[in-house]
Structure 1
Amino acid sequence: MTLIAIFFPFVSFFLRGRILTSILCLILQITLIGWIPAAIWAVISLQNSRADKRNNKLIKAIKVK
């Protein structure tokens, strides 16, 4: 998924269900200069999403005990 975020940033957002963000990223990605910020934005967003899922699992595990 990280490679998709680097090479096709708008697809990364689209696959995670963020349609409006995907469209905004696509508009940014259309320009050659905007490709790099779009890719960085997609990778950081992907990492934050993974961290949120990991934190939610930890919170659920703590509440069970």
Structure 2
Amino acid sequence: MLLAILLPFLSFIVRGKVLTGIICLILQITLIGWLPAAIWAVLSLNNERADKRNDKLIKAMRKNQK
């Protein structure tokens, strides 16, 4: 989470989203664009975590139905 706030572009690159990281870096280069880039990175990280959590719950529910 700290990486997403301090270096938003690097947060994307570490998660394997290189093109998104480059776009975020371009946005982050401007002083005004740094805050939206940081917010974008944090929201993206939270969404990815929520997707993983939902997938895990769906797998557990399917396993219980069988």
Give the TM-score category using the shorter length: over 0.9
Figure out how many residues of one structure are paired with residues of the other and give that number: 64
Q: 1: distance between equivalents of 2:40 and 2:25?
A: 12
Return the index of the structure with the highest Cα Rg. Answer: 2
Partner of 1:47: 46
Displacement over 2 Å in runs of 4+: none
Scaled by the length of structure 2, what TM-score is found?
0.96
Unaligned runs of at least 5 residues, structure 1? none
Partner of 2:9: 10
Aligned-residue CA RMSD (Å): 0.3
Identity, % of aligned pairs?
Answer: 69
Scaled by the length of structure 1, what TM-score is found?
0.97
